[in-house]
């Protein structure tokens, strides 16, 4: 059953790849840009109760890149999704579908979700997944120093929104960053700082704009070390010899 769902999903994605490119909607560079405007299919999906079982079936397409566990890829090509707030997931998928966030790799897959109910369903399923503990960390020789520097910066300007344990804020659409891959965090913060994330929160842009590359490395190193008590996957039992 799962294999057939995945095959159907990938075939649908292939059709999407052959179709028109993602639409282009004015983002943060526009004078009328509103970071979290309550409109369109996003607001419809947010009002709906997601069905976890249906969401698991819809997620089959997503699992090809983000893995069945929602763990993503440690090299940062695909983010860790498991345990992410439904509000954040719905907003980001709706932004990609509407052309407000540029993600040509994901657009054909996001486009296969048929309506706001399916957005709500798949988001509910993803949120229910435990956060993997074996995600990508900063692994340089100076890791301890970078994490310490990042902790100081994080507690000064990031903690208020993203929380002590990287738990984010569901009501305010601030994402969970605990368990996220170091390389993905670094890439996203760099893109936000440099104006390449068109659906970025203007408040975050103001905070991150002055940061140097070295500071972004340190913050990303610390963020990737965060864990959310009670939300992380249980360690795998050691294999019996």
CATH of the domain at 181: 1.10.760.10
Position 15 scores a pLDDT of 35
- Using the predicted structure, report yes or no on whether residue 104 has a pLDDT greater than 50: yes
Same domain, 152 and 193: yes
Report if residue 211 sits inside a domain.
Answer: yes
Domain that holds residue 181: 143-223
Position 23 scores a pLDDT of 78
Integer Cα distance of 235 and 127 in angstroms: 19
Same domain, 9 and 107: yes
Q: Using the structure block, give the residue that is written with the tokens 């909607």.
A: 25
Same domain, 120 and 150: no
Q: Residues, the chain, total?
A: 241
Task: Kindly report the three-state secondary structure assignment for every residue of the chain.
Answer: CHHHHHHHHHHHHHHHHHCCCCCCCCCCCCCCCCCCCCCHHHHHHHHCCCCHHHHHHHCHHHHHHHCCCCCCCCCCCCCCCCCCCHHHHHHHHHHHHHCCCCCCCCHHHHCCCCCHHHHHHHHHHHHHCCECCCCCCCCCCCHHHHHHHHHHHHHHHCHHHHCCCCCCECCCCECCCCCCCHHHHHHHHHHHHCCCCCCCCHHHHHHHCCCCHHHHHHHHHHHCCCCCCCCECCCCCCCCC
Report if residue 30 sits inside a domain.
Answer: no
Q: Which of 17-21, 38-42, 122-126 has the highest mean pLDDT?
A: 122-126
Same domain, 82 and 110: yes
Reported pTM: 0.89
Same domain, 42 and 94: yes
Position 112 scores a pLDDT of 85
Report if residue 166 sits inside a domain.
Answer: yes
Report if residue 31 sits inside a domain.
Answer: no
Same domain, 6 and 124: yes
Same domain, 105 and 165: no
Same domain, 169 and 63: no
**Section 133-145 average pLDDT:** 96
Report if residue 234 sits inside a domain.
Answer: no
CA distances for 33 relative to 37, 142, 196, 201, angstroms = 9, 40, 15, 10
Same domain, 112 and 152: no
Identify the domain boundary among 128, 155, 189: 128
- Using the predicted structure, report yes or no on whether residue 1 has a pLDDT greater than 90: no
- Give the model's confidence band at 18: pLDDT under 50 very low, under 70 low, under 90 confident, else very high: very low
Same domain, 192 and 109: no
């Amino acid at each position: 059953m799962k294999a057939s769902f995945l095959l159907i999903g990938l075939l649908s994605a292939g059709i999407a790849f052959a179709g028109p490119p993602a639409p282009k909607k004015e983002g943060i560079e526009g004078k009328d840009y509103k970071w979290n405007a309550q409109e369109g299919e996003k607001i419809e999906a947010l009002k709906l109760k997601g069905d976890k079982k249906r969401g698991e079936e819809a997620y089959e397409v997503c699992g090809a890149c983000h893995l069945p566990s929602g763990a993503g890829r440690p090299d940062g090509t695909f983010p860790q999704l498991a345990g992410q707030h439904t509000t954040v997931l719905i907003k980001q998928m709706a932004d990609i579908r509407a052309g407000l966030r540029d993600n040509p790799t994901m657009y054909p897959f996001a486009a296969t979700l048929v309506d706001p109910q399916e957005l709500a369903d798949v988001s509910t399923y993803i949120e229910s997944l435990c956060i993997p503990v074996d995600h990508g960390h900063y692994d340089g020789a100076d890791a301890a120093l970078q994490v310490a520097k990042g902790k100081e910066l994080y507690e000064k300007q990031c903690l208020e929104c993203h929380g002590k344990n990287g738990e984010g804020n569901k009501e305010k659409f601030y994402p969970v960053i605990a368990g996220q891959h170091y390389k993905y965090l670094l890439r996203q913060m760099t893109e936000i700082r440099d104006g390449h994330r068109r659906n970025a929160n203007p408040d975050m842009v103001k905070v991150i704009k002055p940061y140097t590359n070295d500071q972004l490395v340190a913050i990303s190193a610390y963020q990737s070390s965060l864990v959310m008590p009670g939300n992380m996957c249980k360690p795998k039992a050691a294999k019996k010899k």
